[in-house]
Amino acid sequence: MLIHVDPYDLRPAARNPNAMSPAEETALRASIVEMGFAQPILVRPVGDTHEIIDGHHRIDAVRALLADGHEPEALGLEGGKVPAVVVEGLSEAQALALGLGMNRIRGRADLATVAEILSDLQDYGWSTSDMLVTGFDEQEIADLLTPPSEVDAAEILASSRLDDLEERPAPTGTIDLVIPLQSGEQVKAVRKALHKASGDAKDIGVGLLALLGMAD
């Protein structure tokens, strides 16, 4: 059930497993100012109030922005209230587990795709400063937008480190490969080289073995 609730009427959970750095908090506030409160928080009814399950940092950010004089409507708050999805019937244990899961079960950023999106934003006229609302800092954005002309997949793979390769017997042995990638363009270049070497097989490990001269 979706409701709208006063951000000051919400009760935080006793423990929030998600931590944010000051830079991330700044980026979150900037995102809300730029695009509004775009994602409902998750709460559960407790007595005559609601307890936050997921969304502590967004509520803290909204409170800080309101205290700084931002108008609720400018932040996308309908009637000064934030959107919240209510989950009812949870035991204390389920509430704890759900809060932990909401902060842990998340995908990871695909750097190649991130680089493409940042490039698209650049084409739309966004500056590095504008892109800070994505949560990436200036150095990360600069690295991800590095032109591909200097990227040599073969050179990157050649500089990788194979640990204890000769000491591990096949077929049960494992190979630890460290590939020093510095940008999204490097990720794309290496991935493309591995796919090509594998004959476009789903397992790019086949391509790795081919490039290392170890294919059957």
**pLDDT above 90 for 172:** no
Instruction: Please provide the average confidence, as pLDDT, over all residues in the chain.
Output: 79
Strands 176-178 and 161-163: antiparallel
Q: Do residues 38 and 76 lie in contact, with contact meaning Cβ atoms separated by under 8 Å?
A: yes
Residue-wise burial string across 151-190, b where 16 or more C-beta atoms lie within 10 A, e elsewhere? bebeebbeeeeeeeeeeeeeeeeeeeeeeebebbbbbbbb
Lowest model confidence (mean pLDDT) among 8-12, 34-38, 54-58, 158-162: 158-162
The better pLDDT of the pair 1, 181 is held by 1
User: For 139-142, which contacts have Cβ atoms below 8 Å and span 24 or more sequence positions?
Assistant: none
Lowest model confidence (mean pLDDT) among 6-10, 13-17, 36-40: 13-17
**Per-residue confidence band for 170, with pLDDT thresholds at 50, 70 and 90:** very low
Q: What is the pLDDT of residue 132?
A: 87
What are the pLDDT digits (tens) for 111-169? 888 888 999 999 999 999 888 888 888 888 888 887 655 445 555 555 554 444 444 44
**pLDDT above 90 for 202:** no
**Per-residue confidence band for 203, with pLDDT thresholds at 50, 70 and 90:** low
Q: What is the pLDDT of residue 181?
A: 59
The stretch 103-113 carries a mean pLDDT of: 77
**Per-residue confidence band for 77, with pLDDT thresholds at 50, 70 and 90:** very high
Cα-flanking dihedrals φ and ψ of residue 26, to 5°?
-65, -45
Beta bridge partners of 162: 177
pTM: 0.62
Contacts of 72 (CB under 8 A, 6+ apart): 66, 79, 80
Lowest model confidence (mean pLDDT) among 6-20, 93-107, 121-135, 177-191: 177-191
Q: What is the CATH number of domain 2-104?
A: 3.90.1530.10
